[in-house]
Structure 1
């Protein structure tokens, strides 16, 4: 019996960098599990989930696990994902289409943040740090923002440096405000990490504000790192088990 197919479902974006990153992440997932059928889909932009599921059904798959590629589980995103999965399933009676929990904010992503930060510091020839800012998308959901703040504190404890969470939308502080607050304390070597999966308009704006405020380096988003791919496969494994009849 073939294993369920895996569809990595990303938020819709017309930014080609997002598409390239998701494509690279799916390639990394395939490299780790070459036995699986793995596809990518996007919310509201092509290829959309229903079309991808249709192709999988034509290829003979009747069990499909959808892994949302979102780092924060907001009510709006969760509702959009649920609607897309429901529509895809309804279009193909007899086919099981199940969504897993999103990627979320795993502690293992701190290792990826470290990799991206080392790359940024090397490119900027920076050898000294006295503060860090963890930039995330932000949301109107305070619980989601609190989860980012907790991850920031954990990262700061690991590096024995003060860390502030900053948000690109919906909630203060913005990255520029966070950098200026540290500079007001007398800190001058402040770097910014990007807690985003892929680059896009939000990461561009966060980086611009941070550099204008005096940040010495801004790291790239998580991207198609093997640790992110392993998290995708961990979510898939749970979803695949839930498809097994009790």
Structure 2
């Protein structure tokens, strides 16, 4: 089962790619996700790309999957760490659909995610100084694996910037952004930026940015690296599936 041609493009009949967004009441979130979707489509012409939301926005994921009938699809969560949505909500919605689906890994942690965070900080005015540091602001989750993933992203960003990076959360986990800023100030880091580890604008991203004592980067949005990361997760999911098939055949 080889789904990749010699020139690296997907062959006809490849599973559809379904972007799974959380959803937000902020109208900027939907327009941002659609712009990201367009970037993905431009990078992989001929690949069917669809959008489904877990809540709050249309189309909802179950409706998107219903339109696919019994076709094949890879669901790529536009989420940045493991957590309840990745482990429970999305698989449960997929299991109820007639389509043959597989759920890809969340977008983080990954170097392409870190590259986007870095570029967004530069756009916001980041300059490395002896007393500078970063708070990586994320949504937060009670799932311990979510915190592990965010910690990993923070370490990768710290390596990229060469300054301390402390993860902080908008809800469900600690520390808060304000607490992280105070911790860094106590360490002599008085020029603290907030890196917005959110896919799109929304309430959490806005609240975290408002707590920055210096600059706050924009959400990840439709950055080119994010489109490449989505396709990487899509391809990765198919590679894992192909690797499993010989195992099943020999079982």
TM-score tier by shorter-chain length is 0.7 to 0.9
The 1:192–1:86 alpha-carbon spacing in structure 2 relative to 1, beyond 3 Å, is same
In 1: Cα distance, 2:200 partner to 2:79 partner: 10
SS at match of 1:39: strand
Normalising to structure 1: TM-score of the pair?
A: 0.85
Where does the alignment leave 5 or more consecutive residues of structure 1 unmatched? 90-94
In 2: Cα distance, 1:51 partner to 1:142 partner: 31
The 1:237–1:158 alpha-carbon spacing in structure 2 relative to 1, beyond 3 Å, is closer
Does structure 1 residue 105 correspond to structure 2 residue 109?
Answer: yes
Note the alpha carbon deviations across 1:120-174, whole angstroms, 9 max, x for none. Answer: 117xxx6746211111111112232132123212322332212211111122211
SS at match of 1:26: helix
In 2: Cα distance, 1:150 partner to 1:67 partner: 20
User: Which residue of the partner structure matches residue 27 of structure 1?
Assistant: 38
User: Which residue of the partner structure matches residue 58 of structure 2?
Assistant: 46
In 1: Cα distance, 2:86 partner to 2:25 partner: 17
User: Which residue of the partner structure matches residue 17 of structure 2?
Assistant: 6
Q: Which one of 226, 229, 233 corresponds to residue 235 of structure 1?
A: 233
Q: Which one of 73, 81, 98 corresponds to residue 82 of structure 2?
A: 73
Counterpart contact for 1:166–1:172, Cα < 8 Å: yes
Counterpart contact for 1:49–1:88, Cα < 8 Å: no
User: Which residue of the partner structure matches residue 147 of structure 1?
Assistant: 149
Counterpart contact for 1:121–1:127, Cα < 8 Å: no
In 2: Cα distance, 1:97 partner to 1:153 partner: 33
User: Which residue of the partner structure matches residue 158 of structure 1?
Assistant: 160
Counterpart contact for 1:6–1:36, Cα < 8 Å: yes
Note the alpha carbon deviations across 1:19-53, whole angstroms, 9 max, x for none. Answer: 11111111010010011111111013310122223
Residues matched between the structures, number: 231
In 2: Cα distance, 1:239 partner to 1:35 partner: 18
Q: Please, which moves more after superposition, 190-199 or 46-55?
A: 46-55
Normalising to structure 2: TM-score of the pair?
A: 0.83
Note the alpha carbon deviations across 1:172-209, whole angstroms, 9 max, x for none. Answer: 21111111222233332111101111111111111122
In 1: Cα distance, 2:108 partner to 2:133 partner: 25
CA-based RMSD of the aligned residues comes to 2.2
Deviation above 4 Å: which 4+ runs of structure 1? 126-129, 243-246
Counterpart contact for 2:108–2:149, Cα < 8 Å: no
SS at match of 1:50: helix
In 2: Cα distance, 1:12 partner to 1:234 partner: 22
In 2: Cα distance, 1:245 partner to 1:141 partner: 31
Give the drift of 1:76.
4.7
